[in-house]
Structure 1
Amino acid sequence: MDSTKNDVAFEFLPYFRAYKDGRVERFFGTDRVPPSTDSKTGVSSKDILISQETAVSARLFKPTTTNPPPQKLPLLIYFHGGAFCFGSPFCSTYHNHLTSLVAEANVIALSVDYRLAPEHPLPLAYEDSWAALKWVASHSGRQGPEPWLNDTADFERVFIAGDSAGANIAHNTAVKAGVEAEELVGLKVVGICLVHPDFVGREGNAHKSWFFACPETNGSGDPRINPAVDLSLGRMGCRRVVVCVAEKDGMRERGWFYYETLKKCEWDGVVEIMEAKGEEHVFHLFDPTCENALALLKKLASFINQE
């Protein structure tokens, strides 16, 4: 009998465990709720395939509106969290969160199902996310494959958002949008919303989950996890950023460090920060009706709809 069969390579309890023999157990994000029209908010959703080659897909959300709407709606591209290893746009937690956000902000939203580590180690999640953004841009002439985007989205008002690892992806996607803007003709990223972002802190220490998800990394010298060393940071392709942190979150200081780094760099946009008192990491996903979660939802909505 192989005595190493149950040896753990990495675990992020209570959400995830990987074994040295290659087996992976995910305890969060594995439920799948079907797309629907929400009876309470009227938000409709449907699932789409972004890439036949990589099988990257997404869930698209649209608020109650006439078809076509009297005016185009802001477009939000969302990346879920989960240490790059777990989570899904199709699970009840993220489906419900996006439904609430779309209803509050009156936006159309694309929640991207990027590939997960360790089966698909980084940088594949970044590549999938960039592919999703380019797929969205292919609709800017109103001739893309998805009618909800052709008919409803305002491609001059695009926002990128995410929580935890998804916030990291949102940031890196926005930087690439500035560096490689020629690949996004017709699309304008106005701002990014980073909720409890996963970066290094002031001490420059990357969490062990980062090394597990990205075996090729050199740690704190990697600009994808440490924006402070990113020579392209000043070219980030948006002009507004909101960072949301939580007082009792172990990643709180990382969000503040990112905020301070962005303020000091050559980027000429406006960054703001909001802190939820007495709350822990991604509290809003697990207690979505609490006072602070509702305040966070309203903050994101006002940020998106700010003139």
Structure 2
Amino acid sequence: MVSESEIVFEFGPYLRAFKDGRVERYFNTDVVPPSDHGNGVSSKDVQISQETGVSARIFIPNTTIYANAAGQEKLPLLVYFHGGGFMIGSPFCAMYHNHITSLVKEAKIVAVSVDYRLAPEHAVPAAYEDSWAALQWVASHVDGEGPEVWLNKHANFRRVFLAGDSAGGNIVHNMVVKTGEEELAVGMEFELVGACLVHPHFEKKEGDDVDECWRFVCPTTSGLDDPRMNPSVDPRLGRLGCRKVLICAAEKDLFKERALNYYEALRKSRWDGEVELVETEGEEHVFHLFNPNSEKAVAFLRILAFFINQS
């Protein structure tokens, strides 16, 4: 007889799912409050959808609070999607709160860090649906009359960027593909300039088994021909809805090959934008999140900031 407490799936030391439906998470479950002028950056939490519970944390440099009075220009807007295999993480845990705070301070941007629903309680495509709903919510501010005053006052909607790490990098790709088919703000001043995929979670080359984690979070996947995890088979790859893409890899990352495959697939597609590949030597998956004060993590943060500001 099978025990109801039997573990049916284990995601490293981070998560366990049990036969009786329970899910236990052991990483990034902490919640830190938004900051009021903390480290040169202020943040607040906002509700995006009452129906699904999708929310976000918004970050602005403290200097922007006085931007209108000083006649300063509005700032680039970054929409960020956290990683965690679609199963763990949130904008509200210390790791991601601190990372986005540092990036906002370095790049002098406005950021919206999205809290999408997690699997297995909410199987994929819930994460994609929530992320698209968040982008639509962000775009609703383009005329300066949206529900969030910080976006109305301080965000430049002609300089919008998407970024994410690991599963969040996968989400970024899928959002950029979708924006190539559907306009977020028809007839308005909205431009998705660039996308940054940090150590993105995609499938391996053909002939390999489909990732066990992907099958767990997306039970309805068709396998290696699922374009959400294998962009090389997606004919929409040539119609990305942005003009620049930055792909970040790490030398010792198990996902490095997948990042390189994505880079090559994008170069061979009909997309006429600019794609750049940056690799950090001697580092592993999302090293910058686990050791943010290291020399290479600080340098990596500057790369992300430069990508946004030089576009």
Q: TM-score range by the shorter chain?
A: over 0.9
Cα deviation, residue 203, structure 1: 3.2
Task: Tell me how far apart the structure 1 counterparts of residues 104 and 82 of structure 2 sit (CA, whole Å).
Answer: 15
Counterpart in the other structure of 1:187: 190
Q: Secondary structure at the match of 1:220?
A: coil
Cα distance, 1:107 vs structure 2: 0.5
Find the aligned partners of 1:90 and 1:120 in 2 and give their Cα distance: 19
**SS of residue in 2 equivalent to 1:110:** strand
Q: TM-score, normalised on structure 2?
A: 0.95
Partner of residue 124, structure 1? 126
Distance 1:248 1:77, change over 3 A: same
- Cα deviations across residues 64-96 of structure 1 (Å, max 9, x unaligned)? 224352101000000000000110100000000
Judge conservation of contact 1:196–1:252 (CA < 8 Å) in 2. Answer: yes
Q: Partners of 1:77 and 1:295 in 2: how far apart?
A: 21
Which has the larger displacement, 126-135 or 289-298? 289-298
Counterpart-to-counterpart distance in 1, 2:45 and 2:295 = 31
TM-score computed with the length of structure 1 as normaliser? 0.96
Q: Is the aligned partner of 1:250 residue 2:279?
A: no
Distance 2:84 2:239 in 1: 27
The alignment covers a number of residue pairs equal to 305
Map 1:84-99 to 2 at 5 A.
84-99=86-101
CA distance in 1, matches of 2:174, 2:64: 35
Residues 13-52 of structure 1 mapped to structure 2, 5 A cutoff:
13-39=12-38, 41-52=39-50
The answer to whether the 8 Å contact 1:241/1:271 transfers is yes
Task: Compute the displacement of 1:38 (Å).
Answer: 4.8
Report the CA distance between 1:19 and its aligned residue: 1.1
3-state SS of paired residue (2:80): strand
For 2:248 and 2:36, the matched residues in 1 are separated by: 29
Structure 2 residue runs without a partner (length 5+)? none
TM-aligned CA deviation for residue 304 of structure 1: 0.2
Amino acid at match of 1:263: R
Instruction: Give me the whole-angstrom Cα distance separating, in 1, the residues matched to 2:84 and 2:179.
Output: 23
Contact (CA 8 Å) 1:48, 1:58: kept in 2 or not? yes
Identity of aligned residues (%): 61
102 and 288 in structure 1: CA distance in 2 versus 1, 3 angstrom threshold: same
Which letter maps to 1:128?
D
Residue 127 of structure 1: how far off its partner (Å):
0.4
Conserved 8 A contact 2:104-2:111: yes
Q: Does 2:289 correspond to 1:290?
A: no
Contact 1:137 1:186 in 2 (8 A): no
Question: How far apart are the structure 1 equivalents of 2:296 and 2:158?
Answer: 30
